[in-house]
Amino acid sequence: MKSNNIFVWSYLEDYKKKRKKILNLVDKVFKSGSLVLSKEVLNFENNFSKFTNNKYGVGVNSGTDALRIALMAAGIKKDDEVITVSNTAVPTVCAIVECGAKPIFVDINEKDFLIDVSKIEEKINKKTKAIIPVNLYGQSADYERINKIAKKFNLKVIEDCAQSAGSLYKGKPSGSHGDLAAFSFYPTKILGAYGDGGMVVTNNKNYFIKARKLRKYGMSKLYYSEFHGVNSRLDEVQAAILNFQLSKLNQNIIKRRRIAKIYNENINSDKLIKPIEGKNNFHGYYIYVVRHAQRNKFMSYLKKNNVFCNISYPFPIHSMKGYKHLHKKKEKLKITDKLSKQIFSLPMYPELRINDVERVIKLINNF
Ligand SMILES: Cc1ncc(COP(=O)(O)O)c(C=O)c1O
């Protein structure tokens, strides 16, 4: 029997269509005799860095590792401060802490959920070394203003592009606006692997050389570490699949944007606030995030009708037991706190059927 459920995300429809091709790719790698950091990884590094307007790419094991290695390559170390947001996935902050640095949280804009650039300068001091703007939900932060501040205070800018592969800011690809950028290829992402994966991209040759060594114990020569690094490999199977997925990425973004357009034009529940695409952004709609003052009631109603939504993120990082010691309680993040109680995301993935989108809209309008 066919399920009546509409999930917030699923790869299964997509896999049905691509199964033969993907299994062939896996078989080809298995038969090649090389399973990690070989031809497929190199090929994907070349293709993806080009796709993001960067000269260099270093394939790693996850988006978290991509951030950590980007920070290390940029020279971020113990007791440095890194400015970012609290309305993000834990990994953004986890990577900063793993470098021994301290995350400093800046509030977000109510309109687009992204870092409020007007509040960055007041957080800068002698210890501040970098900014990690998070391109949340599929659109980019305001790099024109961020880069001006970074230049003024000599800070590195590392883009967290885990959610923004294929989106554009001022007509240029996400990942081409900072000193380095970190991508995640976790399966749910816009460019998703069938397992974990990530990449650091940059136009700076020194960062590239350092990042490449960092991903493999600080080595360039076998069994000889030049400095302390990590183990963060991208395997050949994931790279081969990602190369294939990359060829479909722009097409998938068109599908995502089509679904977003249908939501935008047809949801007319006056208390549900729809997302706004910034004037400099070409939104990739990694997720379609709405706001409602009665979120729990709204989500339960949808769930009762077999529509499953998600909250990204219900807990701002500065409120979590694991990280609240890093933030002074008196420094309020008002918009972050407020929005964390209202936001949730509607079903969104390229193969989501238009019939199902229409069913979701009907339910919303009848709430
Ligand atoms: C904003 C953001 N940054 C970083 C990451 C980390 O990526 P990964 O899960 O591949 O480690 C994610 C994904 O979870 C993310 O959404």
Do residue 164 and residue 221 come from a single domain? yes
Average pLDDT value for the chain: 97
Mean pLDDT of the 244-265 span: 98
**What distance lies between CA 236 and its chain's CA centroid?**
22
Residue 86 has pLDDT above 90, yes or no: yes
Residues in Cβ contact with 288 at an 8 Å cutoff, skipping those fewer than 6 apart: 137, 259, 260, 263, 275, 345, 346, 347, 348
| Residue 354 within a domain | yes
184, 190, 215, 286, best to mutate for ligand 1 pocket (most atoms within 8 Å of CB): 184
Inside any domain, residue 7? no
Decide: 238 in ligand 1 pocket, CB within 6 A. Answer: no
Contact 134, 158 (CB under 8 A): no
Going from the Cα of 87 to the center of ligand 1, the distance in angstroms, rounded, reads: 13
Among 243, 265, 297, residue at a domain's last position: 243
Residue 1 confidence (pLDDT) above 60: no
Strands 128-131 and 81-85: parallel
Report the separation in Å between the CA atom of 332 and the middle of ligand 1, taken as the mean of its atom positions.
25
Cα separation, 324 vs 327, in Å, equals: 6
Confidence of residue 276 (pLDDT cuts 50, 70, 90): very high
Residue with tokens 């309020």: 332
* 87 within ligand 1 shell (Cβ under 6 A): no
Query: Which tens digits make up the pLDDT trace of 37-56?
Result: 999 999 999 999 999 999 99
The Å distance, Cα 65 to ligand 1 centre, comes to: 9
- How far is CA 146 from its chain centroid? 18
CA dist list (Å): 85 to 141, 175, 317: 11, 18, 8
pTM for the whole structure: 0.98
Report how many domains make up the chain. Answer: 2
- Is the CB of residue 312 below 6 angstroms from any atom belonging to ligand 1? no
Residues 115 and 172 occupy one common structural domain: yes
Closest Cα to atom 12, ligand 1: which residue?
162
- Residue 199, H or E segment: strand 198-202
**Could you say which of 216, 243, 270 is where a domain stops?**
243
Question: What pLDDT sits at residue 2?
Answer: 57
Tell me the CA–centroid distance for residue 247 and ligand 1, in Å. Answer: 22
Do the domain assignments include residue 193?
Answer: yes
What CA–CA distance (Å, rounded) separates 169 from 288?
18
